[in-house]
């Protein structure tokens, strides 16, 4: 069912790939953001095997590192912080963004303040912005913003993970609440569909990407060479996001 949903969204996936490939070919970066468990989709795009430079994973640990569950760095704090207005602008203040950049924001509900304000900030700066949400869950969720606007209100393109309301998909006899969330599975399918289409466009343009590859596939020497070259390229692209921070605009 999830694969069918991805196939049905291919026109939107292709459009996202067009925008992201154009950004990478321009020497810029596609900015990725997700709070909470949505960081999984951010890291699925880059960096991992089968991935390539051109993506800037914005992972705020205060919003997503909740492995201790309780106590310092616990889940309660992360869930509180992702609804603090103004935090997104503090995050984006770190980067010299350009309209040549593009962005992808992931949030299953699309209703929490920080992901919404991240997308709003990207759009305000002229970036084409793609959202990944669960459409059913988002429709059933109340926005934490006073104006009621959601992530989908600040996206040029919306992709749907196909997860149900509440995310969990499996109902069991004797248990009155479902288990096994589906947004990560659907989100990762979308991420890799986009990634593959971007790679195809870069290759067709004569700029094949440096895809992180396992030694078992390409041999240890080539795998090491690709890793080093890919990380160097990422560093060079990232440097461009910092070099003009705080400087007056050119007249």
> What does the pLDDT profile of the chain (251 residues) look like in tens digits?
667 778 899 999 999 999 999 999 999 999 999 999 999 999 999 999 999 999 999 999 999 988 899 999 999 999 999 999 999 999 999 999 999 999 999 999 999 999 999 999 999 999 999 999 999 999 999 999 999 999 999 999 999 999 999 999 999 999 999 999 999 999 999 999 999 999 999 999 999 999 999 999 999 999 999 999 999 999 999 999 999 998 887 65
Host domain of residue 53: 2-209
Burial annotation 85-96 (CB, 10 A radius, 16+ → b, else e): eebbeebbeebe
Answer yes or no: is 242 within a domain: no
Answer yes or no: is 177 within a domain: yes
Answer yes or no: is 246 within a domain: no
Half-sphere exposure of 205 (CA within 13 A, CB side): 15
Answer yes or no: is 32 within a domain: yes
Answer yes or no: is 249 within a domain: no
How many other C-beta atoms are found inside a 10 Å radius of the C-beta of residue 71? 8
CATH assignment of the domain containing 53? 3.40.50.10490
Answer yes or no: is 239 within a domain: no
Helix axes 10-25, 183-204, angle to 10 degrees: 50
- What the block records as the tokens of 76 is 């309660």
Which residues are CB-contacts of 49 (< 8 A; sequence separation ≥ 6)?
212, 213, 214
Answer yes or no: is 112 within a domain: yes
Task: Please say whether the beta carbons of 15 and 157 come within 8 A.
Answer: yes
Residue closest to 119 by CA, chosen among 136, 137, 134, 107: 107
| Bridge partner residues of 58 (DSSP) | 33
Q: Which region, left, alpha or beta, applies to residue 36 given φ > 0 means left and ψ of -120 to 50 means alpha?
A: left
| Bridge partner residues of 56 (DSSP) | 31
Using DSSP's 3-state secondary structure scheme, residue 104 falls into strand
pLDDT of the residue at 4: 78
> Does the global pTM surpass 0.85?
yes
Answer yes or no: is 251 within a domain: no
How many other C-beta atoms are found inside a 10 Å radius of the C-beta of residue 134? 26
Counting the structural domains of the chain, the total is: 1
């Amino acid at each position: 069912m999830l694969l069918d949903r991805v196939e049905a969204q291919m026109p939107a996936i292709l459009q996202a790939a067009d925008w992201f490939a154009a950004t990478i070919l321009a020497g810029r970066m596609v900015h990725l953001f997700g709070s909470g468990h949505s960081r999984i989709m951010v890291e699925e795009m880059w960096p991992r095997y089968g991935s390539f430079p051109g993506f800037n994973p914005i992972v705020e640990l205060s919003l997503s590192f909740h492995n201790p569950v309780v106590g310092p760095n616990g889940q309660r704090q992360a869930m509180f912080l992702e609804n603090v207005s103004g935090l997104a602008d503090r995050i984006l203040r770190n980067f010299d963004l350009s309209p040549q950049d593009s962005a992808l924001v992931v949030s299953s509900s699309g209703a929490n303040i920080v992901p919404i304000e991240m997308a709003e900030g990207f759009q305000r700066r002229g970036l084409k912005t793609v959202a990944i949400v669960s459409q059913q869950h988002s429709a059933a969720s109340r926005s934490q913003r006073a104006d009621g606007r959601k992530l989908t209100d600040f996206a040029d393109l919306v992709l749907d993970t196909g997860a149900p309301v509440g995310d969990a998909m499996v109902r069991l006899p004797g248990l009155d609440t479902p288990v096994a969330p589906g947004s990560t599975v659907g989100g990762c399918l979308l991420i890799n569909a986009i990634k593959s289409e971007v790679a195809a466009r870069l290759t067709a343009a004569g700029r094949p990407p440096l895809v992180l590859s396992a030694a078992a596939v390409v041999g240890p020497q080539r795998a090491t060479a690709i890793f080093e070259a890919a990380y160097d390229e990422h560093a060079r692209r990232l440097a461009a996001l910092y070099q003009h921070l705080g400087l007056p605009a050119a007249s």
